[in-house]
Amino acid sequence: MLDESDILAALRDCYDPEVKLNLVDLGLIYRIVIEPDPDSTPAWPRQRVKVAMTLTTPACPASGLIVEQVRNRLASLQEIGSVDIELVWEPPWTAHRISEEGRRQLGI
């Protein structure tokens, strides 16, 4: 069974195309909920993953691309039957959400 650290590891493969930093270290992932997916096909136990995330700005021109990256990356995991992504704007993203590793990569 997957846990939050597995989901975060997978999401480190998804990048903001403008900032060139993965979404996790950029601080765009706010919440992850993992629960059984009773509707999964095939029938072996699979999980439904819900991700609450934001973008650096509501007017982000790459918003569709970023959301699809997340959806596709998680859907590629065999243990996941369905993915729900919720874009949230509260609390608003700020550069303070960037991880230490992200700051190092960006040179800030």
Give the pairing of strands 21-22 and 15-16: antiparallel
Q: List 1's β-bridge partners, or say none.
A: none
CB 8 within 8 A of CB 24: yes
Domain membership flag for residue 32: yes
Q: Where are the alpha helices (DSSP H) in the chain?
A: 4-11, 23-26, 63-75, 100-106
Number of domains in the chain: 1
pLDDT tens, 18-70? 988 999 999 999 999 999 888 777 667 789 999 999 999 999 999 999 999 99
- Would you place residue 72 in the very low, low, confident or very high pLDDT band (cuts 50, 70, 90)? very high
Q: What is the pLDDT of residue 38?
A: 81
Q: What is the pLDDT of residue 43?
A: 62
Domain membership flag for residue 98: no
CATH number of the domain where residue 49 is located: 3.30.300.130
Q: What residues make up the domain containing 8? A: 4-91
Query: Between the CA of residue 9 and those of 34, 38, 61, 69, 84, what are the distances in Å?
Result: 14, 25, 25, 14, 18
Domain membership flag for residue 15: yes
pLDDT tens, 80-91? 989 999 999 999
